[in-house]
Structure 1
Amino acid sequence: MIEELYQEIKSRKQVPKEGSYTNYLFDKGLDKILKKVGEEATEVVIAAKNDKAELIAEISDLTYHILVLLAEKEIALEEIREELGKREGKISKTKDRKEITDL
């Protein structure tokens, strides 16, 4: 499903549709897209303290806006898959990481 949504977003970038929110974001440019990603990420954090349905809705919004960002920066989903694949099975050195409260 994410692949299909990403393809639709890329299609809107190449063939704009009047009244499309996706095209509105592309027309406004990178700064607007980044602002929306930041807003949605914050809303995910807040929703995580509330109920499951709200969290699902906000994660969906964030996912959509991240896909718009990927399309804007011309990053293929395969590039993300490859990067995640490089990390698979690697041992994380948790002792070298700061505690969350220290961030």
Structure 2
Amino acid sequence: MAVPITLEFSGGAELLFANQKKHSIELPGSQKWDVKSLLPWIRDNLLQERPELFMQGDTVRPGILVLVNDADWELMGELEYEIQPNDKIVFISTLHGG
């Protein structure tokens, strides 16, 4: 069974995703999803350019805040957080070029 979630990108992160801030997606239901498995899925299926500006290794690069249902992901277990149906996961870039 697919897992419906909402992804949002802001603070400049949306520029990597064809300027689209909000994505309603359904993750394939053949596995349990956590943030660690979600990140490569986002990179492979949604990211339009410059993956190095979104990911570093197997996590988001420093300077990107991650919120799970409006709570800091550090409180939710970061990469280990198990994604639930209808979760909202927000990525906010705090880095701005100049």
| Shorter-chain TM-score tier | under 0.3
TM-score (norm 1): 0.22
TM-score (norm 2): 0.22
Which one has a larger percent strand, Structure 1 or Structure 2? 2
Which one has a larger percent helix, Structure 1 or Structure 2? 1
Larger RCO (CA under 8 A, 6+ residues apart):
2
